[in-house]
């Protein structure tokens, strides 16, 4: 598996980053972008959308993106928390298929997703493979890709001991804290309004 690094596809710098805590990562979340793949410019376009006024995210939301030909593009990578599954970003890796998951997904792309999952389990221990719709109110990753994801998870062996062991109380406390922090409020809409008016200065 070859991963195209950020510098290779021309990524813009992240506004800021938050490190993942390996002790609490438990999910491998599969998405689709519902957009065409036209080489590296497609990845740059996704990043521009995520960092733009509609989202105001610090970086491209996914940890990795997979092209139809099986090429893998580095998003936030292994070390940093993504912005792809609200309420679960702190405990997950987000992998997006660049294309439509309600259409047949090429075999090279499926193999690349599985390769990423195997590499992720080397780093984080056993990770449950889920579709975005399993952790949020969305049709993502499309019906065809979702059926494949569900089959992949069913075929997985019993979970192995985690690579990093954390106290259950500590993990639970962090999950509660993260979910409280992610509760939507009026600030989201107000930040978008401020951005449109040119009043918001990024840090």
Residue 124 to residue 167: CA distance in whole angstroms: 16
For residue 35, name the pLDDT band (cuts at 50, 70, 90): very high
Q: Looking at the predicted structure, is the pLDDT value of residue 191 above 90?
A: no
For residue 175, name the pLDDT band (cuts at 50, 70, 90): low
Higher-pLDDT residue of 183 and 148 is 148
Residue 85 to residue 76: CA distance in whole angstroms: 14
Higher-pLDDT residue of 2 and 200 is 2
Q: Can you give the residue ranges of every domain in the chain?
A: 24-154+165-197
pTM over 0.85: no
CATH number corresponding to 24-154+165-197: 3.40.80.10
**Least confidently predicted of 74-83, 89-98, 113-122, 160-169:** 160-169
Residue 151 to residue 129: CA distance in whole angstroms: 10
């Amino acid at each position: 598996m070859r991963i195209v690094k950020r510098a290779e596809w021309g990524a813009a710098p992240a506004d800021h980053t938050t490190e993942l805590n390996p002790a609490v990562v438990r999910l491998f979340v599969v998405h689709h972008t519902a957009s065409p793949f036209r080489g590296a410019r497609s990845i740059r376009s996704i990043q521009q959308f995520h960092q733009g006024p509609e989202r105001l995210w610090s970086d491209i939301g996914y940890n990795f993106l997979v092209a139809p030909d099986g090429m893998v593009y580095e998003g936030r990578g292994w070390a940093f928390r993504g912005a792809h599954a609200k309420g679960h970003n702190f405990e997950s890796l987000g992998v997006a298929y660049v294309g439509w998951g309600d259409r047949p997904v090429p075999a090279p792309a499926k193999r690349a997703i599985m390769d990423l999952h195997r590499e992720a389990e080397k780093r984080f221990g056993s990770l449950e493979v889920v579709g975005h719709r399993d952790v949020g109110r969305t049709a993502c990753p499309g019906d065809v890709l979702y059926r494949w994801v569900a089959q992949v998870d069913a075929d997985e062996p019993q979970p192995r001991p985690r690579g990093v062991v954390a106290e259950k109380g500590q993990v639970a406390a962090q999950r509660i804290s993260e979910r409280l922090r992610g509760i939507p409020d009026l600030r989201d809409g107000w930040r978008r309004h401020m951005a449109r008016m040119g009043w918001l200065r990024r840090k």
